[in-house]
Amino acid sequence: MGILAKLFSLLLLLPVAQGTTSHIIKYWYGGFKAAACAPVTHELNGWTIRMHFDKNVRYVEAWIGKVRKISNREYTISSRSHRNPGDLICFTFLGHNDGKIKPFAKITIDGQGQSRSSGGQKNYGGALAKSILFYDAQRSGRLPSNNPIPWRGDSNVGDCVPGGWHDAGDHLKFGLPLSSAATLLGWSLVQFKDGYEAAGQLDQMYDMMKWVYDYFLRAWKPGQQKLCVQVGDGNADHMFWGRPEDMHMSRPCKFVSEYTPGADIAGGTAAAMAAGSIAYRQKDAAFADRLLEGAKSLYNFAKGHRGVFTGGAPFYGSSGDADEMCEGAMWLYKATGKQSYLIDAKGFVDLGVAWSLGWDDKKLACQGLLYEATEEDQYKRAVEGYFKNWFPGGDVTYTPCGLAWRTKWGANRFTANSAFMALLAAEMGIEPTKYRKWAMEQINYFLGDNNHDGGCFSFEIGYGSKFPRNPHHRAASCPDPPAPCTYDQEKAPGFSPHILQGALVGGPDKDDSYTDERSDYIHNEVALDYNAGFQGALAGIVHLQAVGKMPATNNKCPC
């Protein structure tokens, strides 16, 4: 048995519940060779190992993943490979330093063993990674070589605007929920970039978001003053149950233009692109410039052609465009610093208390952005008024296990968005401990702190050992080709053939009851806007882990 095999055999016997340390194999003047094993306590779809050295190390070489230097004493190694609970990630590496020294490193896997609540340990980083996979599963168009969803292939490549994300369990592309989800996701990347990094998901997040930003750039034609806001016929699409790869129906496009108003979608898309320009500024300045120029011209178009888009009825009808215009103006202000955008936003803002934050109502987001920029009390009071309604004692119903339950149709989506906004408000200095505690307790409910199926049931598919297996999602319900997939699959017995990793289902009823039925689109639908705030909140929680600001929580039905 070689020295490395002997070392790994020894490591298997060591008590390493919270990680382990590296072991020097040999060393010399200017360098050393070491080995380590890190235990896996949760299912991982992609992982990041963090190494904390006791002495300075100039650089590290490893072959198990991508090495990143944080400082002379901290390095990370990341991989997109899968690992199961109970596995050990064992590897060797070379270190280079000055002199002849024997440094050792504490080895941990990000997202494991870092946080406990009343509901026990939650792998927030792992949940974040899975949410990114959900958006990858929603991709339309010709898929890239690094597609991480093996049961998805090229689809709808002949669309008038190819690419983008399918809206939900169907295969339509709707501009209003698409831009709404992209704005919240972009906001999470701007505000909690360190959370994505600590979870080992920063590269995956950039890859995921570029897919939708490229779609927006294709959808907006500034020379023609025309924005594509819908791809596909809603009624025809909903008559089809099958794989998106097998769709051959006509997929008409709908546009807003000088003659067809749609400032709600145009303003929201401008917000998404402007947020993206900030998120990509340091990674890819040229791409950030394209997004910013697109956002500016699209916002100007929307400002000059006010009114809501009505051509998509009965799907995603908007109640107004001022909230999206305010949001677009604020993200352009953040991206450019130009006072004219801030003045515009102050003119668009509604200081009333929002019912919720969602694809049709960006009021709360605009209020929060204005408070962040100005620190004026009127915006702070508006945000506080919202959470007064949402916290216990307000007008939002709470389930017996503590979920803030706004409505039965996709209840989880409104709560997740509110949790994300609570974490953002806390970063703005609004009652940080209280807001963070509430947000984490809501996310804990989603990840298992509930009483469904005996407890420890996750409403995020693929997280933990108990989760929905029959979401209202056509592609996931279809067996592998060449087996046929028809409407028979909607009510077929047994689990869906594919696990739709990371999708947050609509959620329980107000008594915590929930049935995992594929045909139940009220409680078991999945959608772009369902995951957006949820993913943002997860990134915010991993950020709190990274900076040591995790609040104590007290869930009513701990797992």
Q: Which residues are catalytic?
A: 516, 525
CA dihedral 455, 456, 459, 464 (to 10 degrees): -150
CA distances from 4 to 10, 14, 45, 106, 471 (A): 10, 15, 27, 19, 46
SS (H, E, C) 162-185: CCCECCCCCCCEEHHHHHHHHHHH
CB 76 within 8 A of CB 50: yes
193: its two tokens:
């970039």
DSSP states of 490-535 as a string? GG-SS--SS--TTPBP----TTS-----TT-TTTSB--HHHHHHHH
- What distance in Å separates the CA atoms of residue 88 and residue 107, rounded to the nearest whole number? 12
Q: What distance separates the 2 farthest-apart alpha carbons in the chain?
A: 77
Q: Map residue 84 onto helix, strand or coil.
A: coil
- What distance in Å separates the CA atoms of residue 264 and residue 306, rounded to the nearest whole number? 8
CB 456 within 8 A of CB 448: yes
Cis amide prior to 314 (ω within 30 degrees) = yes
**How, if at all, do strands 59-62 and 88-96 pair?**
antiparallel
Read off the amino acid at residue 42: H
178: its two tokens:
């698409």
- What distance in Å separates the CA atoms of residue 313 and residue 310, rounded to the nearest whole number? 6
